[in-house]
């Protein structure tokens, strides 16, 4: 019962802090965030893609929306939305691939929403949000053509991947394309660190929409993460000190 109470307390506390930090008075926008080189490179790469008439490809991983790993895919969708907004003027619209049926539908819906909001719905192509494959390796095999033959100059890999994602980053490297990669899975993070051009580690995955100016809620949620992280650090430190002096609270 106590774990449920702690869980509920954390959720309510985070919710309250998030609402406060979204308010304009407390929200200083993405300029207040620490600089992450990967996002500076990404902005430049998106700009170059639009100028050169090349495509931006976002691949959202293989996470099912019914699994706990879906938050990485949801962050990927928020990133896709922002990238579609940034490259809406491009001759070649962005391409989204995923390894789950529901995620593919959501990616189509996200792209359609951006084109509708931008009053260019006639430019929307259903083919730009695709299911690449339904198993981890078939997803990789299905996504590989997007890395080789779709006139893509910028690849963003954001979501849940296995170590096999190395095949995608290797293909991007062969095409001399820019890659920014982030995963919530530890083996994939290690592989991406070695193979991708720019890698986001750990919770930086969730920072992508905030750094791309997706809205005050994204910046506020980064601040909430920071507050919660400091509380956890304080809790761990306090627990260690109490244990050293022989007091056990759990």
Partner 1 sequence: MRDPVAAAIAIAIGLVILAGYFVPIPLLSAVQSTLLGWAVIIGAFAALVGITNLVFNHWRKLTGKINRDYYSLFALIGFALALAVGLWFGPGDPIVQQGVAAIIVPVEASLMAALAVALAYACLRLLRRRLDPMTILFVISTVVFLILGSGLLAGIDMPLVRDITMFIDRLPVAGARGILLGIALGGLTAGLRILMGADRPYSG
| Residues in 228-247 at the binding interface with partner 1, rule: CB under 8 A | 228-229, 232
Q: Does 188 bind partner 1 (CB under 8 A)?
A: no
Q: Does 202 bind partner 1 (CB under 8 A)?
A: yes
Q: Does 15 bind partner 1 (CB under 8 A)?
A: yes
Which residues pair with residue 61 across a beta bridge? 160
Q: Using CB under 8 A as the criterion, what x/- string covers residues 73-92 for binding partner 1? A: -xx-xx--------------
Q: Does 177 bind partner 1 (CB under 8 A)?
A: no
Q: Using CB under 8 A as the criterion, what x/- string covers residues 122-151 for binding partner 1? A: ----xx--xxxxx--x--xxx--x---x--
Of 30, 61, 93, 166, the residue at the interface with partner 1 (CB under 8 A) is 166
Q: Does 48 bind partner 1 (CB under 8 A)?
A: no
Asked whether 102 and 64 are in contact (CB, 8 A), the reply is yes
Residue number with CB closer to partner 1 (8 or 246)? 8
CA gap 10, 8 in Å, rounded: 5
CA gap 56, 126 in Å, rounded: 16
CA gap 246, 181 in Å, rounded: 45
Residue number with CB closer to partner 1 (90 or 169)? 169
Pairing assessment for the beta strands 55-61 and 152-160 based on DSSP bridges = parallel
Q: What are the φ and ψ backbone dihedral angles of 124, each rounded to 5 degrees? A: -70, 135
Q: Does 116 bind partner 1 (CB under 8 A)?
A: yes
Q: Does 118 bind partner 1 (CB under 8 A)?
A: no
Q: Does 36 bind partner 1 (CB under 8 A)?
A: no
Q: Does 30 bind partner 1 (CB under 8 A)?
A: no
Q: Does 184 bind partner 1 (CB under 8 A)?
A: yes
Residue number with CB closer to partner 1 (137 or 242)? 137
Of 2, 194, 249, 250, the residue at the interface with partner 1 (CB under 8 A) is 194
Residue number with CB closer to partner 1 (38 or 246)? 38
């Amino acid at each position: 019962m106590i774990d449920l109470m702690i869980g509920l307390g954390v959720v309510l506390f985070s919710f309250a802090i998030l609402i406060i930090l979204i308010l304009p008075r407390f929200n200083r926008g993405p300029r207040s965030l620490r600089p992450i080189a990967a996002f500076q490179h990404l902005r430049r790469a998106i700009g170059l893609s639009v100028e050169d008439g090349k495509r931006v490809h976002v691949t959202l991983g293989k996470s099912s929306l019914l699994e706990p790993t879906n938050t990485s895919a949801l962050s990927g969708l928020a990133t896709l939305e922002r990238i579609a907004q940034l490259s809406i003027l491009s001759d070649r619209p962005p391409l989204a691939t995923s390894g789950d049926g529901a995620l593919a539908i959501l990616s189509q819906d996200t792209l359609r929403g951006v084109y509708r909001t931008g009053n260019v719905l006639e430019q929307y192509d259903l083919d730009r949000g695709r299911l690449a494959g339904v198993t981890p390796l078939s997803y990789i095999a299905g996504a590989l053509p997007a890395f080789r033959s779709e006139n893509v100059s910028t690849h963003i890999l954001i979501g849940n991947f296995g170590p096999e994602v190395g095949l995608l980053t290797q293909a991007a490297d062969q095409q001399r394309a820019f890659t920014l990669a982030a995963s919530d899975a530890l083996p994939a993070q290690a592989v991406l660190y070695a193979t991708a051009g720019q890698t986001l580690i750990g919770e930086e995955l969730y920072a992508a929409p905030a750094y791309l100016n997706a809205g005050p809620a994204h910046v506020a949620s980064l601040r909430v993460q920071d507050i919660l992280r400091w509380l956890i650090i304080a809790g761990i430190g306090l627990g260690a000190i109490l244990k050293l002096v022989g007091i056990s609270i759990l």
